[in-house]
Amino acid sequence: MAFDIDMIKQVYANMTERVDAARKITGQPLTLSEKILYSHLWQGKPTKELARGKDYVDFAPDRIACQDATAQMALLQFMQAGKAKVAVPTTVHCDHLIQAKEGAAKDLKHANSTSSEVFNFLESVSNKYGIGFWKPGAGIIHQVVLENYAFPGGMMIGTDSHTVNAGGLGMVAIGVGGADAVDVMAGMAWELKFPKLIGVRLTGKLSGWTAPKDVILKVAEILTVKGGTGAIVEYFGPGATSMSCTGKGTICNMGAEIGATTSTFGYDESMERYLRATDREDVADAANKVKDYLTADAEVYAHPEKYFDQVIDINLSELGPLLNGPFTPDLSTNVGSEMTEKASANDWPLVVEWGLIGSCTNSSYEDLSRASSIAQQAIDKGLKMKSELGINPGSEQVRYTADRDGILGIFESLNAKIFTNACGPCIGQWARYSDPKNAPKNSIVHSFNRNFAKRADGNPNTHAFVASPEITAAIAIAGRLDFNPLKDSLINENGEEVMFDEPTGWELPPKGFEVKDNGYLAPEEDGSHVKIAVNEDSERLQLLEPFTPLGNTITGAKLLIKAFGKCTTDHISMAGPWLRFRGHLDNIANNTLIGAINAFNKKTNFVKNQLTGEYDAVPAVQRAYKKAGIKTIVVGDHNYGEGSSREHAAMQPRHLGVAAVIVKSFARIHETNLKKQGMLGLTFANESDYDLIQEDDTFNFLDLNEFAPEKQLTIEAVHADGSKDVFKVNHTYNDSQITWYNEGSALNLIKKQNA
């Protein structure tokens, strides 16, 4: 039986009336995305048509999911909100703080020892406030959510950008910062600009070596890392319905890499099969009663150009396996000779040192079974592994079932390392090197979602390429980046030429899923007696102090850094070894912007302190300004804050005294996080004004006292020689968000309202 089945049935009961009302108001057929959005309005029944890309809308999500690294800050904020219990079903999943090194058993034991303080804190807070808790080793948040909580037609938010994975089960599931989650936990509305809609029509059918992963790798090539910003991507067509539910999840998961608000698929038979296989017959039965409401109206998919803002066509029968990378998830290359040419031209290492299979993107039973079919062929055909191989199962249920069915044993026969059911290398939790900064140039292939520099192992020289699990397995066995399993042969131990056959696998386990202990702990009905202790001397946890409002007069602000080129959340607040400080704002602030490239010297973590004229680390310079009572400005390039939902990338600069971030363009989640923390997130009205900013600049806001929706702000940059440039900046703040700014943060406003 499903969790929260009564809530799901109520969503379906509301959906029919609300969708019918929305269809009448808009006067046209509706996409699936619109049906879910209009049926989750905070006000209830829709009363007017909402403008895509323009109207800010209050929504009422059905549930919340938090992973342990972000849950710390989210729950520390919720503790300040003045509530006795969360207002909607919420879960916490411990998957980020487990480092991959020696293998599952030893790595999990080590994590439970070194991070016990954090795990105990999360468990006790969950118990106190009515939150479901998934223990370390239970699995990766998004796979566990797909198996237990996702349901067609629902709306979920989660404190991780890959929350969008649940679109594989027909949800609108959106990654947010912890402050957004706190709003909903506290019983308040969640605000989102009504998204634009991108339709992806899938025709043909996947076969051979082509996998669902290749669909999103192709979409990333077409749209680039920012092409989906402000939009929901809705997949449809015969190619979509022919795919498995977990395959759909893979596609939605990596939609985070194109900047999309989320991605989703209409309810179909593959979703019903998955629901029944994961012991949720009651959800499948309830969904079947309203199935016409859980996909777009037929007219929409028949004539998508009339109903979507953009339509992309992909013929799956013509799609081949792809490798995306290095250093960005949208640089796409066909396997084989095209990779040979590109690698040679760009000096990418052709020898592959590691293949990694798993992560929240590709760790289902189907993924492991298809990859294991390649591994089994290597055994049968007498091939030796040329690369090392690592496996991260997505959940304890997947791991237990795959082990029972001999899938993990096949990998182990090739000396693969089976890591914990956790994120591991995908988020930088990989103890690959003792000194990653000085590690050698190399290539790896993985089935993860992100491949920014230093992402997996901290080595800036690791060239990471994203592929499907089956292609990852084949390339790891061959040991060459340009190996094409469709055409190329390998020499086995007997000196014979052999070729791989096409991969095979199971959509769902033939003998059903099985698990002894799934790792779930239900909260007490009444947790009011639960005491939460945070040691004042703790390096890992720190209770929060409210931020002070920045005010409507900002003058004499110094430039902290002018970031050059790509500046992701990994550059602003690194993961890896820094994950241990995610619950301690002051300690983790010591990594603030240390990965950003200074535009004036093209170095990282080396900026000028205008008070001394000396160069130092970014956090050190910022702390000097804070001590002197001087506010600062960060300047950035396009798609600033791309990547993770981590609100630390906003909270750390705020904590240290940064008042405003001025960029050419923002990634959606990061812009919202800045707003939530009471900061100014601004964009140059003329992008070329980025070039006006000089190293010794001081900034004066000339009309901040007139801060209002849709009104530009005027900033004066005073240069070292006394000359000045005045430029305009745009913003997307509405009245509510300006109130957050005036109060110092959205959390301050919640506390005030609950007082």
Question: How far out from the chain centre does Cα 216 lie?
Answer: 15
Q: Is 696 annotated in the active site?
A: no
Burial code (b: 16+ CB inside 10 Å, e: under 16) for 451-472 equals bbbbbbbbbebbbbbbbbbbbb
Written as six digits, the tokens of 372 are: 């294991």
Q: Is residue 646 annotated as a catalytic residue, yes or no?
A: yes
d(CA 103, CA 419): 5
Q: From residue 2, how far is each of 8, 90, 147, 283 by CA, in Å? A: 9, 14, 10, 7
- DSSP letter (8 states) at residue 48: S
- Six-digit token string for 356: 């990694």
Instruction: State yes or no: is 450 an active-site residue.
Output: yes
Characterize the bridge pairing of strands 90-93 and 63-67.
parallel
Q: How would DSSP label each residue in 655-716? A: HHTEEEEEES-B-HHHHHHHHHTT-EEEEESSGGGGGG--TT-EEEESSGGG--TT--EEEE
Pick the catalytic residue from 33, 263, 644, 665: 644
Q: 231 with 260: CB under 8 angstroms?
A: yes
**Catalytic residue (one of 160, 268, 330, 405):** 160
Query: Of 214, 268, 263, which Cα lies nearest the Cα of 242?
Result: 268
Residue 225 CA, chain-centre distance (Å), reads 13
Alpha helix segments (H runs only) across 267-336? 269-277, 281-289, 298-302
Cβ atoms 176, 158 nearer than 8 A: yes
Residue type, 618: V
Active-site residue, 537 included:
no
Q: Give the active site residue among 62, 95, 405, 482.
A: 95
Q: How many angstroms separate the CA atoms of 355 and 343, rounded?
A: 18
- Tokens, residue 183: 């709003």
Check 63, 96, 582, 668 and give the catalytic one.
96
- Whole-Å CA distances, 625 to 1, 302, 556, 594, 632: 56, 59, 11, 16, 8
Nearest to 399 by CA among 157, 153, 103: 103
Task: Using alpha carbons, select from 136, 137, 160, 134 the residue that is nearest to residue 149.
Answer: 134
Cross-strand partners of 717:
699, 725
Tell me, yes or no, if 6 is annotated catalytic: no
* Long-range interactions of 460-465: CB distance < 8 A, separation 24+: 463/325, 463/326, 463/327, 463/348, 463/349, 464/325, 464/326, 464/327, 465/323, 465/324, 465/325, 465/326
Q: How far is CA 509 from CA 213, 394, 655, in A?
A: 20, 14, 49
| Residue 271 exposure: Cα atoms within 13 Å on the Cβ side | 29
635 CB burial (10 A radius; 0-12, 13-18, 19+): buried
CA distances from residue 491 to 112, 383, 494, 496, 538 in whole angstroms, order as listed: 44, 7, 8, 5, 56
Strand 713-718 relative to strand 724-730, pairing: antiparallel
**H-type helices in 440-562, by residue range?**
469-478
Contacts (Cβ under 8 Å, ≥6 apart) of 389 = 354, 355, 356, 357, 375, 411, 414, 415, 416, 417, 473, 476
Ranges of beta strands (E only) in 195-307 are: 196-203, 231-236, 262-265
Q: How many CB atoms lie within 10 A of CB 29?
A: 17
Q: Which residues contact 706 (CB under 8 A, 6 or more apart)?
A: none
Between vectors from CA 661 to CA 658 and to CA 662, what angle results, nearest 5°? 145
Q: Which is catalytic among the residues 40, 93, 280, 450?
A: 450
Q: Could you say which of 93, 646, 668, 670 is catalytic?
A: 646
Residue type, 77: Q
* Catalytic residue set: 95-96, 160, 450, 644, 646
